[in-house]
Structure 1
Amino acid sequence: MAPRANWKGFLRLSLVTCPVALYPATSESEKISFNQLNRQTGHRIKYLKVDADTGDEVPNEDIVKGYELDKGQYIEVTKEELEEIALESTRTIEIDEFVDKSDIDPRYLIRPYYIRPDGKVGHDAFAVIRETIREMDKVAIGRVVLTNREHIIALEPMDKGLVGTLLRYPYEVRSEQEYFDEIQDVKVTKDMLDLARHIVNQKAGRFEPEKFEDHYETALIDLINQKRAGKPITPKSKPAATNVVDLMEALRRSVGKEAAPAKAGKPAKKGRKASAGQKEMLMPIEGKKPKEAAAKKPSAKPQRKSA
């Protein structure tokens, strides 16, 4: 089943325009989620929208938006009034400027979306915009309205499409000074830096997301499978705290600890692919028999549902 677009409209660079669709590039729907239950009956908890004063349930058609001026005093805003102030970016991603990727503070990044042409027309204009951004080695900055709010969006080419990352506004980013001002100025010696560099070099590698595993998700799956099988749940022992208080000694021990596996001559353990491993562990929860689970190995990149 084809993913459903979160937004459809037009991408515009000056007078060059093409219809596009925007899709979420990430999803958390595959994670374990819980429902709230009534401990006495085992039934799910249902939430009702009620009047705060009377306690009566209020139907959706009688619910309006309101901005609180003072305690208990609100200004009502209707759906029609909100539509009246709809921005051009509700229907169009207008590219305003081009910047270097290194200029974008990572604190401003929110979430990524995939952008592709919508329908059979506009592919030529889309390709022109995409290849211009790629050729200039820049990031295009535009605006788009999602969930009734305007967002800044940074556009970058990826393969045949574009990735658009929503950005925060300056008022949404807290100043680091209120958190960092009380950090003490410490003189780090060359010996300490040399030992720390040695640890970094021993741990050096490439960024390979496919080898990451969500250990908490794995623990949740194991917990659910054990409870489903009626097995007793025994708490795991917590790691003992180390007594090393001397920083130089801790660095020296760390160097020895990281070097130990290399001296043993054992091959490095390959990280399992999180998506495939997680899917395999989820099979018992989904009701598949062990033989069926073994026969049907999950693909390396299972198709994800769109959010």
Structure 2
Amino acid sequence: MAPRPNWKGFLRLSLVTCPVALYPATSESEKISFNQINKATGHRIKYMKVDAETGEEVAAADIVKGYKVDTDSYIQVTQDELDAIQPESGRTIEIDTFVPKAEIDDLYLVRPYYLVPDGKVGHDAFAVIRETIKAMDKVALARVVLTNREHIIALQARGKGLMGLLLRYPYEVRDENEYFDGIQDVKVTRDMLDLAEHIVESKSGHFAPDKFEDAYESAVIDLINRKKAGQPITRGKAPSESNVIDLMDALRKSLGHDVKAQPAAKAQKPAKGKKPRKRIEGQKEMLFPIAGKGAGKAAAAKEAGREVARKPAPRAGGRQRKAG
């Protein structure tokens, strides 16, 4: 089943308008998550909303937003008041301007979305807007309201659709000088640069995200599998670190080490005629089903020694709440 969109409305370029839907382009739902439980009973911890002074539980209908103006003083703001000031662009992504993609600083990028036509109508208008953006090799800056706040979104052509990158406002970006001013000015010799460049060349390749491996996620899965099987858990040795005294010597040793390790770093090709599995290369699987929407299917696959695939991603917009 297709995921649910985060937003539905209209995409507008001057007088050209079409209905569109906005979907999150990424998901973290497949990451292992934990609940907080009572160590003594094994029961899940439940959180209640209570008055900080009286300690009494407060009903949801009695909870409003408050802006802190003093130690114990707040200005109350109701949802009706917030709705009344919602921007007019609440149902429309209005394209304001076009800019070169290279001019958008990476610091302003927040998260990616997919923008597609909504329904059977408007595909012609959507195609016109998409092809115009593609032909001009620029990014369209527009405004969109998500979770009652107006955001700037940068639209660019991607395949048959559009990709929208949510951007930060200037007040959300910290000044780099606050962090970089303390960095000392160091003179790097040509010999050091030559050695460092050789190291870079020995490690050079192409961007291949399918080769990424989440080592910590794999270790967590292995930990859970071992505990499920009743196996002892041992703590691995911490990596030893040595103080670098001679930088040139460290560069020379690094070059020799990386050249030797280069052949082992090549990924093995899958057997001929077999399709690679759609999971991160080298990542382990759960030996038992994780509770969730996929638990039913996993339970049906109980066989001795058989590994069960990890839980399927829930639909976008149906994010599972975590305790803690």
TM-score, normalised relative to structure 1: 0.91
Give matches, 1:49-68, under 5 Å.
Answer: 49-68=49-68
Q: Deviations over 1:253-274 (max 9, x none)?
A: 0111111145xx6682349989
**Alignment partners' CA distance in 2, 1:238 and 1:266:** 23
Identity %: 63
Structure 1 unaligned blocks of 5 or more: none
User: Aligned AA for 2:215?
Assistant: H
User: Aligned AA for 1:245?
Assistant: I
Q: Does 1:281 align with 2:284?
A: yes
**Alignment partners' CA distance in 1, 2:288 and 2:186:** 52
**Alignment partners' CA distance in 2, 1:280 and 1:50:** 42
Q: Which runs of 4+ in 1 moved over 6 A?
A: 271-274
- Equivalence for 2:12: 12
**Residues 30 and 313, structure 2, Cα contact 8 Å, conserved in 1:** no
User: Aligned AA for 2:104?
Assistant: I
Q: Deviations over 1:20-75 (max 9, x none)?
A: 00001001110000000111211100111111111111111111112122222222
**Residues 210 and 275, structure 1, Cα contact 8 Å, conserved in 2:** no
**Residues 8 and 91, structure 2, Cα contact 8 Å, conserved in 1:** yes
Q: Does 1:306 align with 2:316?
A: yes
TM-score, normalised relative to structure 2: 0.86
| Cα distance change of structure 1 residues 282 and 261 upon mapping to structure 2, 3 Å threshold | closer
SS in 1 for 2:285: helix
**Alignment partners' CA distance in 2, 1:283 and 1:226:** 10
- Equivalence for 2:250: 250
- Equivalence for 2:141: 141
SS in 2 for 1:46: coil
SS in 2 for 1:284: coil
Q: Deviations over 1:154-192 (max 9, x none)?
A: 101111111101000000000010100010000100000
Give matches, 1:42-191, under 5 Å.
Answer: 42-191=42-191
**Alignment partners' CA distance in 1, 2:259 and 2:56:** 67
**Alignment partners' CA distance in 1, 2:222 and 2:280:** 13
| Cα distance change of structure 1 residues 73 and 243 upon mapping to structure 2, 3 Å threshold | closer
| Cα distance change of structure 1 residues 267 and 187 upon mapping to structure 2, 3 Å threshold | closer
**Residues 64 and 77, structure 1, Cα contact 8 Å, conserved in 2:** yes
SS in 2 for 1:285: coil
RMSD value, Cα: 2.4
- Equivalence for 1:194: 194
Q: Deviations over 1:233-278 (max 9, x none)?
A: 001112222354200000000111111145xx66823499895148
| Cα distance change of structure 1 residues 271 and 245 upon mapping to structure 2, 3 Å threshold | farther
Offset, 1:213:
0.6
| Cα distance change of structure 1 residues 71 and 193 upon mapping to structure 2, 3 Å threshold | same
| Cα distance change of structure 1 residues 219 and 96 upon mapping to structure 2, 3 Å threshold | same
- Equivalence for 2:266: 268
Give matches, 1:18-29, under 5 Å.
Answer: 18-29=18-29
| Cα distance change of structure 1 residues 280 and 268 upon mapping to structure 2, 3 Å threshold | closer
**Alignment partners' CA distance in 2, 1:129 and 1:47:** 48
Structure 2 unaligned blocks of 5 or more: 271-275, 290-298, 318-324
Shifted more, 280-289 versus 13-22: the winner is: 280-289
**Residues 66 and 74, structure 1, Cα contact 8 Å, conserved in 2:** yes
Give matches, 1:194-273, under 5 Å.
Answer: 194-261=194-261, 268-270=266-268
| Cα distance change of structure 1 residues 116 and 204 upon mapping to structure 2, 3 Å threshold | same
**Alignment partners' CA distance in 2, 1:266 and 1:72:** 61
**Residues 280 and 293, structure 1, Cα contact 8 Å, conserved in 2:** no
**Alignment partners' CA distance in 2, 1:112 and 1:267:** 31
User: Aligned AA for 1:111?
Assistant: R
**Alignment partners' CA distance in 1, 2:107 and 2:57:** 41
**Alignment partners' CA distance in 2, 1:274 and 1:66:** 49
Q: Deviations over 1:263-305 (max 9, x none)?
A: xx668234998951489733413154467957x999xxx8774
